[in-house]
Structure 1
Amino acid sequence: MNPNQEKISLETLVSKISERKQILECTGLEESAKAYLIVKLFLKCKCPIFLLTPSQKYAERLLEDLKFFAGNDEISLLYFPPYNILPFKFLSYHNETAARRICTLYNLIENDAPSIVVTTVEAMLQRIIPRKEISNFAELIMVNEEFERDDLVEKMVFGGYEQTAIVEEPGDFSIRGGIMDVFSPMYPDPLRIELFGDMVDSIRSFSAASQRKIKNLKEAIILPARETVLIKERIPLIISRIRQRASELDIPVSEVRKIISRIKNEGVFPGVESLIPLIYSALDTLFDYLPESTVFFQTEPEEIEKAAVELQTRTAGNFAHALSENRLCVEPESLYLKFEELNRILLKKTPVTLKMLPLISKEKDDTQRPRQYAFSTSDNSAVGLQLKTQAEKENLFLPLAQWVSHNKQSGLNTLIVSRSKPQAGRLISLLAPYNIKPEKIDDFSDIAKNKGLEFICQGRISSGFVWPDESLAVITENEIFDIKHRRRLKKKQSAHAKLLSFEDLKKEDLIVHVEHGIGRYEGLTKLTINGSTNDFLLIMYKDSDKLYLPVDRMNMVQKYMGVDGIEPVLDKMGGKSWARVKDSVKRTAEKIAGELLKIYAARKVETGFAFEAIDRSLNDFEAGFSYEETQDQLDAIDDVISDMQKKTPMDRLICGDVGYGKTEVALRASFMSVFNGKQVAMLVPTTVLAQQHFETFSLRFEKYPVNVECLSRFRSQKEQRAILKDLKEGKIDIIIGTHRLISKDVRFKDLGLLVLDEEQRFGVKHKEKLKKIRHNVDVLALTATPIPRTLHMSLMGIRDISVIST
């Protein structure tokens, strides 16, 4: 410990903060321990807390840690993100970024309850919309109250909203008859406002993906979509300021006219934020939104200063470039505070500095020199290293069990943080043989006050720590399994949702109508029928025939997926060509179905090998998976394991997009096969894919006595002969290869599982050879795009299918 530092407890820090006599510097805090400290202080002080961080990555990681330690306690967590787009390029930041900023600012204005606010130095330096402008714009809409729709629409356009066909992002709105959809930054989902004349009949939130109702609301608040709110009456003054600034910079008159025209006609346009000093007479900073009682924290001040200097350098460079291209721009100082100014304001707030390591202060003035305090926390690197070393031996989790036991003897509560409930269950079963039985809890706030207990819960934090003074030891699943990366789960829209949004449909694209066949999409058009105006898809057919399809019947069309080298021909509305095509497809399908039924009926009565359950070993293997399984993925794995335990040979199709985890299903099936003494063959269509799978399988099985090999043209003839010899003798457990695997000279000692990756990409001859191999072994096929025949067989129940769509 630095001789100038004192040890401090949380209770003492609370009293020091309340005195606000001197700047405090707290060191020795591991990453997530900072979030734990902030939450504990917030619950004790019940005052607003502001956290300044060096970067967006740091801020978002800290925010996730704060959410975890907040648990069920009602704590308002607000995040004010940076633009992430430097000015002077006439580009706008993303709608979701704009929405989050506006929502945070509005909450700071209106909410009396204290909050924890997290931001970055870049966002803190930005001069922003005056707080009175957000308050003045906010529009309260209530059920059974009168509502001037046209006035609100005009207001929204000048507040940054954009009228769209379908509302999908914050800042979108649409109007269809007496229904108005709007995505206000105040809410996580868009709103549907139904009118009866001038009266609000109902307000409900709905899903942007599926367009389906979520819940009813009694009232709604419409906030501006951007931080540049134009007031109609002020536009002449704004234009005058623009002309004056253009004159100072000697900007060509034609460029000035373009900007003025866009303000008059479009209202808020992309990049107008760069001209925000010309829109408002004075700007605020985030300091102006924060209550007087706010306690200020800054993390790693040296990194904050470095980020601020870099921002100022880049902004100055952009400004100089804009001037050289005769673009209208304002001085950087009118858009950003200087770091020295920010620091001066911050020092007056007597902030608390949080950092890992102490540094000698350069301040000569005692009033500016921080009072240094040290906390005694440590990371989990030691137990992590022991676990990594133990991985090559038996009793993989012995170091973890010893670590938990040591914590118990020291009177510390131990918390294991798992990324998912299934993974938490696996960890409990893996620790059971060591007589470690952690109690499952819902979140951090459920930890008992008793000391020396073990808990496990689902959640996400950046890292664990040991804090003896708080009687707490936290370790994450990532630290246990040495996982360095994390995949964010992709949410996939349903096929129906894709059709509804038509996000990939452009004018003149070919589409197929279920009754009329192939036509050309000519865009959306409005038609008034019996006094009611609605949106219609205009589809052009042969001989200029037109079909107007109501948007609520979009399920009748889909985008045309053509065949390479064949030029599509538009169908004639009411003609016979489309009917003939459908009849021909039906007859062909019936013929193929008959042939396939014979093949698969014979396979169903064939007796195969029933694999035995290996639950504990499989749990061990599953725990090494570095990502969080989706529910679809877990269902697919359960389907495969269940199939393999039956006497009837498995024949299952796993269908899912690239990156959705099909390979992990194959890995677990392979593990089960190998540990039942059976060999695995994985057949892939390309050499590159074979090499990729070989590397993946080798990495996952490196801790086990499993021999994985690859048979492709990347191997020499000598190596291939050696591999074939070992394969025949049973020395190779898993073989991965291209069509070389189905050559006549390939012999297995005891093949139990055949994995086919993208089966539809193999030729007819290859598939004939596969039929001879697969008659009595378990077959697992992986595909992102099943051919119609394979899909039809699965849907008819001839072939089993598992779909991974999330």
Structure 2
Amino acid sequence: MAARKRMNRARLRPPAVAVSSRQPSAGLGVQRIHLGDCHVIAEPEGLLAACLVERLGETGLVFVARSEGRAARLHRAARALAPRGAAVALLPGWDCLPYDRVSPSRAVMGQRMALAAGPPPGLLIASAETIGQRLPRVTERLRLARGEALEAEALRRGLLRLGYALDQRVDEPGEAALHGEVIDLWPAAGAAAWRLRLEAGCVAVIQRLDILSQRSLGEEMEALELGPASEVVLAADDPLLEARPPGLEHGLAEHAATLIAPLDLLPQATILLDAGAEAALDQRRAEVAEAFRTRIALGPAGSPPEALHCGEDLLDGRRVERVAEGEAAAPPRFAEAEDPEAAFLDYAEAQREAGRRIAIAGGRGRGARRLAQRLGAAVPVADWPALQALPPGGIALIEADLPGFEAEAASLVPYASIRAAGGAGRDRGAEALFAASARLQPGDAVIHLDHGLGALECVEQVDAGEAQVDCLRLRYADATQVVPFDELDRIWRYGAEAEGLSLDRLGGESWPKRRAEAEAAVAAGAQALLGLVQARERARAPALRPPPEAYARLAARFPHDPTEDQAAAIHAVLGDLASGRPMDRLVCGDVGFGKTEVAIRAAAVAALTGHQVALLAPTTVLVRQHLESFRRRFEGFGLRIEALSRLTPPAEAREIKAAMARGEVAITIGTQALAARGVRFRDLALMIVDEEQRFGAAQKEQFRRLRQADGLHMLTLTATPIPRTLQAALVGLRELSVIATPPARRQPVRTIRAPVEDALLAGALRREARRGGQSFCVCPRIEDIAPMRERLAGLVPDLALIEAHGGLPAAEVDAAMVRFAEGEGDVLLSTNIVEAGLDVPRANTMLVFRADRFGLAQLHQLRGRVGRGRARGVVYLLTGPEARIGLATERRLATLEALDRVGAGFAISARDLDLRGAGDLLGEEQAGHLKLVGLELYRHLLDRALAKARGEAPPEAWSPGLAIGVDAYVPPGHVPEEALRVSLHGRLAGLLRAGDAAGVEALEDEMEDRFGPAPAPLAQLFALARIAARCRRLGIEKLEVGPNAAAARRRGQETGRLLLRRPSTTPEERLATAEALLASLVKARAGARRERSSARRRAAR
């Protein structure tokens, strides 16, 4: 033990590191400096951040990192370690290329402008790429405070001047949505969005806005300040105000009176240069100059480099220190030990005996507190100075998530390197997937139950006797038809845009025949489906419950906190495996949302209980990556994990198959070769199919052979929630989990459409290489590869290029993709074979050549290959200048560009189904009946047929007729966007079909929250919807309100009416009379039930 302690002390002391200091007027001098208990040292980054924090008391400190990613990481760590109130700032760089055709993001420009206008920070962290880029110093702000008057047009023009984007909804910093008395704003430099409500022209309330639900939260504030969202602040009379062109900021010098260098913000500061920063500065200057020369050869380029960027005299007159390379020790990763907590406690005791303090970082939960208490009384500390102030050997908890490091004064250990992963959340089902596809939009194809397939044109106000009401106008092959409010529930979204479809004729014979055919076919198949469901419920399988300690040890190796949806899916899978019935669960999740972790946990349950697992993946590269991931996670568990694919040598494959048959291989990962007839398992308990949508019908037929084994558990993973993979879940043949919440700190991939230009190609690839990343260059056809290879060789000859496409031998393709995934090469030039499951954490840039030749789902899958780490990914959708893009292609690219928020995969999948058509995706056998009536109506018919097959009475398809005589419409002045008005009516249609009065009230609350108090016609529309929903539940087929009475007729009763005599002249009185009549019916029905119950009791006596 003593020897081990001596070894630890020797290993944990960071080496002294030489730092050079330069005064501009003198020659270079080298000195050794010490900063308290901490040396200025390049690695690990957590220790470097702590050293920077120790120097915060100086007149100012600027750290110039060698890359953008390193600057961002150091900023996060330094902010967490700095004392409260200490100003630690990051100067972000433009997230576009020099002299690009697009502007930087508003969030980046907002942060830069806020930094320039505010007080100087004590510590400024910047990359070599950004420290020399000048910026304007604009102090102009918009201040909105409670109780102050606000004029809508003045606010609109003020926002445009500052560069804010006006949109229908707010999703990102620098956006605003103006909806009359409700205004949504996300300050460009802010961390959150806010909703303002106006009353009598004054700001009444300012509340936090949840951008996912678009609902306001309880948190309020007194005033909101909005700084610029662009580095170009326009004058009020500037002709560009209403149509700010993209890329305007590249001509910044023409719009700003003065520009300052970032170092001028801290004129007396010490400049601390990272190792390699000076070379990066030189490289940046050369790249900017080259980009300007290339752009100006094509036309106007913007401001010249000398106007926007500092030259070689950037550091002249500054006090400069250089950090040399060096690396200190970091704590071990305890989660990989057999007993992580015991390993940490041994380590902590050795550290304390050496006189060091111990801090557990990221220790917000009960587990971290409990662990710290096993070492003694733990003290919560907020920063690095507070940790240093503890007595030697003290124990501390720091809430912030920080990288671990060991210093002479203290050692900091991330709790993530010790802890076991967390519990379960609420599992999401099929409805979460269909929410994206259920919203109506102008131009959608819809089915009217009586008239058939038409095109939804618009919402239209029409005269209905004494009132004005909203109707939907549908276009048919020979005429148009308006659909009144009380027929909304007879409209079903077809699931495709109307363009190119053969619409029905009003009163024609085609639609009744198609509807009858679909209903008969669905009814005929419902009995067989019900038999399958009942057989599944009777089936039995081994109940799998893993050893708790071993499972917890494996879970602890997951380096992240599971998201809520991820935890819920894991919990559901564990429950399925332990139920004693065969699991058949479909897990749908967007690319990069953590489906693989669900598979690892499921495999652990089966393998740790002595059973075998088969994991099927569509490509050999994905097999290779899964093999590495599984072996890394299961290291030390004594389980054999193998792979079978075409990369496996024949002799090795024979040995693996023999070992599988003997039960010696616990987890086998392979392509469809794993389902070949020569493959045998001794005790296969779980089969996992990854990227199910990538397998064809023949391959799935092979899988069915494996599934014939009694008691086999089945887990299917997919990123594309299309009906082909969901139909079984809808009828109860499969369970369904949805992972819709993004991982922590996951940033949306920026998507940019642009023409193909050499300057863009070279700039994008060099920028990614400069920040230490890799790039994809994707071509639609094999014949495009050679010309692109020559083009790139001339543009970026210094970057290493790897090729992968179908024209190469399969083994060569696999080897190339594996090499790239392992970090070799700067650019992978390929066709779309990279779209499935290739995980390259360092890949953050993708160039898609001739993007108009790819499908929407393909483009989304390709986009999912980048930005999987902390760096924000960027995808350029490149189109040739000679290419004529059709309308459908334009919509496809616009959809992908617009839906670039994290987790947009479900919405994109829904739109892809619309754009391509259900039949093309599903195949005729699966989709024939669905294609006749559309996805939503097909689900409805299927539900009815299944209910009938169970012996239940299916709900009848009917709509209550209302004649109340009140205005009921969505005023365009209240909700200006027609798409939102159409969507509102579509959502009402679904609620009316379900008779969901509570849902109508919730939708009314949402609309009031988003757009302000409802004007009378909209409030009356919702009142009619509530009345219609109640009529449906009560069986009221017709309800009329006149000036002296209200009358209702029950469904199925041709004669006899229920009357309520009551004068009603105003709209409020008429609605109240209708509600009173329904209330009397509810009361009468309750009285009748009580009387029947009393009669039964009397008869029993």
Q: TM-score, normalised by structure 1?
A: 0.71
**1:545 alignment counterpart:** 480
**1:79 alignment counterpart:** 90
Give per-residue Cα distances to partners, 1:687-736, cap 9 Å, x unaligned.
Answer: 66555544543444454422233445656776665444333322222234
Q: What's the secondary structure of 2:685's corresponding residue?
A: strand
Give per-residue Cα distances to partners, 1:72-130, cap 9 Å, x unaligned.
Answer: x3444432212244554453112221222233334438xxxx66443334433233223
Give per-residue Cα distances to partners, 1:382-415, cap 9 Å, x unaligned.
Answer: x57xx89x97xx7788876554332111121223
Q: What's the secondary structure of 1:119's corresponding residue?
A: strand
Aligned mates of 1:170, 1:802 — CA distance in 2: 31
Q: What's the secondary structure of 2:155's corresponding residue?
A: helix
Aligned mates of 2:599, 2:517 — CA distance in 1: 37
Change over 3 Å in CA distance of 1:32–1:265 after alignment to 2? closer
1:726-745 equivalence runs, <5 A: 726-737=659-670, 741=674
**2:75 alignment counterpart:** 63
Q: Does the CA-based 8 Å contact 2:380-2:398 persist in structure 1?
A: yes
Return the match for 2:114 from 87, 100, 103. Answer: 103
Return the match for 2:48 from 21, 30, 34. Answer: 34
Q: What's the secondary structure of 1:560's corresponding residue?
A: strand
Q: What's the secondary structure of 2:688's corresponding residue?
A: strand
User: Is 1:218 equivalent to 2:218 in the alignment?
Assistant: no
Aligned mates of 1:400, 1:5 — CA distance in 2: 38
**2:565 alignment counterpart:** 632
1:170-569 equivalence runs, <5 A: 170-196=173-199, 198-214=201-217, 215-232=219-236, 263-264=239-240, 266=242, 268-287=244-263, 289=265, 296-300=269-273, 303-327=276-300, 329-340=302-313, 342-347=314-319, 353=321, 355-356=323-324, 378-380=328-330, 402-417=346-361, 449-454=390-395, 459-461=400-402, 463-468=403-408, 470=409, 472-476=410-414, 510-512=444-446, 541-543=476-478, 545=480, 560=495, 568-569=501-502
Q: What's the secondary structure of 1:156's corresponding residue?
A: helix
Q: What's the secondary structure of 1:674's corresponding residue?
A: helix
Change over 3 Å in CA distance of 1:595–1:200 after alignment to 2? same
**1:361 alignment counterpart:** none
Change over 3 Å in CA distance of 1:80–1:588 after alignment to 2? farther
Return the match for 1:772 from 708, 715, 722. Answer: 708
Q: What's the secondary structure of 1:406's corresponding residue?
A: helix
Letter matched to residue 64 of structure 1: R
Count residues in correspondence.
Answer: 692
User: Is 1:130 equivalent to 2:137 in the alignment?
Assistant: yes
Change over 3 Å in CA distance of 1:558–1:82 after alignment to 2? farther
Give per-residue Cα distances to partners, 1:599-653, cap 9 Å, x unaligned.
Answer: 3434434443233431221222223335542222222222222333343343333
Q: Does the CA-based 8 Å contact 2:160-2:241 persist in structure 1?
A: no
Q: Does the CA-based 8 Å contact 2:585-2:737 persist in structure 1?
A: yes
**1:368 alignment counterpart:** none
Letter matched to residue 171 of structure 1: G
Aligned mates of 2:339, 2:198 — CA distance in 1: 67
Q: Does the CA-based 8 Å contact 1:305-1:339 persist in structure 2?
A: no
Give the superposition deviation at 1:274. 2.9
Give the superposition deviation at 1:665. 1.8
Q: Does the CA-based 8 Å contact 1:32-1:464 persist in structure 2?
A: yes
**1:118 alignment counterpart:** 125
Aligned mates of 1:74, 1:578 — CA distance in 2: 70
Aligned mates of 1:153, 1:570 — CA distance in 2: 42
After superposing the two structures, state which structure 1 stretch, 721-730 or 412-421, moved more: 412-421
Letter matched to residue 404 of structure 2: G
Give per-residue Cα distances to partners, 1:581-606, cap 9 Å, x unaligned.
Answer: 67765665555454344334344344
Change over 3 Å in CA distance of 1:767–1:327 after alignment to 2? closer
Aligned mates of 1:573, 1:209 — CA distance in 2: 40
Q: Does the CA-based 8 Å contact 1:297-1:354 persist in structure 2?
A: no
**1:141 alignment counterpart:** 144
Change over 3 Å in CA distance of 1:53–1:661 after alignment to 2? closer
Aligned mates of 2:261, 2:472 — CA distance in 1: 47
Aligned mates of 1:535, 1:95 — CA distance in 2: 38
Give the superposition deviation at 1:26. 5.0
Return the match for 1:662 from 579, 584, 595. Answer: 595
Aligned mates of 2:119, 2:506 — CA distance in 1: 59
Aligned mates of 1:86, 1:738 — CA distance in 2: 40
Q: Does the CA-based 8 Å contact 1:380-1:466 persist in structure 2?
A: yes
Change over 3 Å in CA distance of 1:84–1:796 after alignment to 2? closer
Give the superposition deviation at 1:327. 2.0
Aligned mates of 2:308, 2:489 — CA distance in 1: 46
Q: Does the CA-based 8 Å contact 2:61-2:271 persist in structure 1?
A: no
Please, which runs of 5 or more residues in structure 2 have no aligned partner? Answer: 1-15, 20-29, 420-430, 742-1101
Letter matched to residue 113 of structure 2: I
Aligned mates of 2:293, 2:504 — CA distance in 1: 58
Please, which runs of 5 or more residues in structure 1 have no aligned partner? Answer: 14-24, 236-262, 359-376, 482-492
Aligned mates of 2:99, 2:224 — CA distance in 1: 35
| Cα RMSD after superposing both structures | 5.0
Change over 3 Å in CA distance of 1:612–1:85 after alignment to 2? closer
Q: What's the secondary structure of 1:378's corresponding residue?
A: coil
Give the superposition deviation at 1:226. 1.0
Q: What's the secondary structure of 2:708's corresponding residue?
A: helix
Change over 3 Å in CA distance of 1:755–1:542 after alignment to 2? same
**1:164 alignment counterpart:** 167
Change over 3 Å in CA distance of 1:529–1:500 after alignment to 2? farther
Change over 3 Å in CA distance of 1:711–1:168 after alignment to 2? closer
Give per-residue Cα distances to partners, 1:108-154, cap 9 Å, x unaligned.
Answer: 38xxxx664433344332332233xx33xx12223333223223323
Aligned mates of 2:193, 2:439 — CA distance in 1: 15
Change over 3 Å in CA distance of 1:379–1:536 after alignment to 2? farther
**2:553 alignment counterpart:** 620
Aligned mates of 1:30, 1:474 — CA distance in 2: 12
Q: Select the structure with the greater relative contact order (CA < 8 A; seq sep ≥ 6).
A: 1
Aligned mates of 1:48, 1:648 — CA distance in 2: 66
Q: Does the CA-based 8 Å contact 2:445-2:495 persist in structure 1?
A: yes
Q: Does the CA-based 8 Å contact 2:60-2:270 persist in structure 1?
A: no
Give per-residue Cα distances to partners, 1:187-235, cap 9 Å, x unaligned.
Answer: 33444444445433444442333322134443322333212112246x5
